[in-house]
Amino acid sequence: MTGREHRDTTRAIDAATGGRRMRRLRQNEWSRRLVRETRLAPADLIWPIFVRDGDGAPEPVASMPGVHRHSVAGAVEAARQARDLGIPVLALFPFNEGGCRDENGSEALNPDNLVCRATRAIKTAVPEVGILCDVALDPYTSHGHDGIVHNGRIDNDRSVEVLCRQAIVQAEAGCDIVGPSDMMDGRVALIRQALDDTGLQDTMIMSYAAKYASVFYSTFRDAVGSSGVLKGDKRTYQMDMGNCAEALREAAQDIDEGADMIMVKPGLPYLDVLTRLVQEFNIPCFAYQTSGEYSMMMAAAERGWLDGDAAMMEVLTAYKRAGAAGILTYFAPRAATALA
Ligand code: PBG
């Protein structure tokens, strides 16, 4: 290209763009940082951890590299780590083997179950970290469903009765937020009522408002010991992957019933749903980066196909850009460390 043609090109581009060159701001690391619209912070993260019976070192979950099942003492250690990293909330999930599972998930109502013991231990040792407990029966049932099976079907109303009692047991153990992840109808209203009737007005509800029947829960089910257990699938209560308008109706109803915060799950395949909910409702809306999303990225990183840290930051930033008030993510300690 001659100098003269080059000057012509420059003139043509300036004429076409009106001199507005988008690359101007991208020239330097400092100017890119200056104009970045979305920033991830440790305060955006909720760290889900798995708790198991017994003592000893954290036990790795094979299908979730970097994720462990902790003893109760280990869970307290994780809470200290969360506090030091500025992670506001820990979500607790129990690993239950065959032994304590039954048809009605009765261990969920035991005030001394694993989750309650871990909650009490954390709240005693590290009270400044919030605790979120999942309200659902799947870690406790012999069939792996979130509710009560009656005459071969997941019985909505019988399930809600038990879920209300589970929420009270968890709140009495000291959990700050209950997270109904069961997708039964009417459960938010009845849980709110049950908490209030017990004098637990301060317990918050983060409802899994739009929870989809997804393939991306598979490694979580390994982690809690539900994989070999689940009979059938969860499509009669979790949402169909094709639906977004229905998510808006689910969310409207949960908010109406008294949810303080709502959630979309999984996250990445449903970011459009998240954005719609954020635009529609003035309420904190969270997203759950599920176990399958996590394991998928970790598997690629382990093979050297992805830069793990870069992928983690890009995806977590995408959640925030889509409008999430915060993200439940197994990357929480790693991301918070990277952000420190
Ligand atoms: C239980 C529950 C599930 C998850 C959170 N709570 C699994 C399921 O519904 O089968 C999944 C979390 C994850 O995959 O990380 N109702």
Averaged confidence pLDDT in the chain: 97
**Closest residue by CA, ligand 1 atom 8:** 217
**Closest residue by CA, ligand 1 atom 10:** 217
pLDDT (tens digit per residue) in 177-190: 999 999 999 999 99
Query: Which of ligand 1's atoms lies nearest the C-alpha of 219?
Result: 14
Q: What does the pLDDT average to over 110-122?
A: 98
Q: Which of 217, 290, 298, 329 to mutate to test the pocket of ligand 1 (most atoms within 8 A of CB)?
A: 217
pLDDT of residue 225: 87
Distance 217 CA to ligand 1 centre (A): 6
CA angle 142, 143, 146 (to 5 degrees): 105
Domain boundaries, the chain: 1-34, 41-337
Q: What does the pLDDT average to over 260-283?
A: 98
pLDDT of residue 1: 67
Half-sphere exposure of 1 (CA within 13 A, CB side): 8
Longest CA–CA span in the chain (Å) reads 84
Specify the range with the lowest mean pLDDT, choosing from 31-35, 60-64, 115-119, 222-226. Answer: 222-226
CATH architecture for segment(s) 41-337? Alpha-Beta Barrel (3.20)
- Residue 2 above 80 pLDDT? no
ipTM metric: 0.97
Query: Which of ligand 1's atoms lies nearest the C-alpha of 291?
Result: 15
pLDDT (tens digit per residue) in 126-175: 999 999 999 999 999 999 999 999 999 999 999 999 999 999 999 999 99
Which residue, 206, 332, 333, is CA-closest to 265? 206
| Catalytic site positions | 211, 265
Q: Ligand 1: residues whose CB is within 6 Å?
A: 134, 136, 138, 146, 181, 217, 220-221, 234, 290-292
- Residue 196 above 80 pLDDT? yes
3-state secondary structure of 151: coil
Distance 220 CA to ligand 1 centre (A): 6
Share of the chain above pLDDT 90, in %: 94
pLDDT of residue 226: 85
- Residue 9 above 90 pLDDT? yes
